[in-house]
Amino acid sequence: MTATAIDVQKIAVKLFTDAPPTLNLDPFLSIFSRWRTDAADPARWVDLADYAHMPRGPGIVLIGHVCNFSFDLSAPAPGVLYSRKQGLDGSNEDRLRAVLRAAAEMSRRLLAEPEFPAGVHLLPGSLDIRFQDRLETPNADATDHLLRPAVTAVFDGLLGPGAYQARRQPDPGKLYGFSIESAVPFPWML
């Protein structure tokens, strides 16, 4: 198995916020209902799911052919979750950069909405990355050997070597991925 043998398409990035886990999600229903009608959006939105009734659950999810986008209340903290499903090209580094860029752009768009809850902000140095295809990227040492270099290269390029911590998800029963923490804000969040 080589790094090019892994077809990484399903990557999720969660940008954490300072929102309480009991945040009223009604504004996201309004925002995402409006976004869903945009036929020109490259995500090709198809549905909207309301999980606000579930404590610490997936929140409000806008579902598209290319990606899903949500305000997610699940652990470890509430945040904006961008889940890419298809359409990524290039190296694993290119794909991860593209997903980070899309997550940041969608988050900025969401925060700029007039209905976005006042007082809720992104935590500028904290995010999770999950590779969501358990068959292609099982949470195993072999996967880590192939994908950690791409993750390291991307964050070294963005923040500089040693300017962040990347902690791998230790539970093999959970998705392969990393919690990234930095003392300096991620540049795309500024």
**Each residue of 49-78: pLDDT tens digit?**
999 888 888 999 999 999 999 999 999 999
The label of the residue with tokens 């949500």 reads 70
At residue 184, the pLDDT reads 86
Quote the pLDDT of residue 54: 86
Residues 6+ apart with CB under 8 A from 129: 11, 12, 13, 96, 151, 177, 178, 180
Decide: 15 and 189 in contact? Cβ < 8 Å. yes
The mean pLDDT value for 10-28 works out to 96
pLDDT at 27 over 60: yes
The angle at the Cα of 162, spanning 102 to 187, to the nearest 5 degrees, equals 30
**138 vs 144: CA distance, rounded Å:** 9
Answer yes or no: is pLDDT of 30 > 60. yes
**Residue 126 scores a pLDDT above 90:** yes
Instruction: For residue range 81-118, list pLDDT tens digits in order.
Output: 999 999 999 999 999 999 999 999 999 999 999 999 99
| pLDDT bracket for residue 7 (50, 70, 90) | confident
Average pLDDT value for residue range 124-150: 95
Q: Is 90 exceeded by the pLDDT of residue 2?
A: no
Q: Where are the domains of the chain?
A: 3-189
pTM, entire model? 0.94
Of 88, 146, 160, 80, nearest in space to 113 by CA: 80
With cut-offs at 50, 70 and 90, classify the pLDDT of residue 189.
Answer: low
pLDDT of residue 53: 86
**Mean pLDDT of the residues in the chain:** 93
Indicate whether 4 pLDDT > 60: no
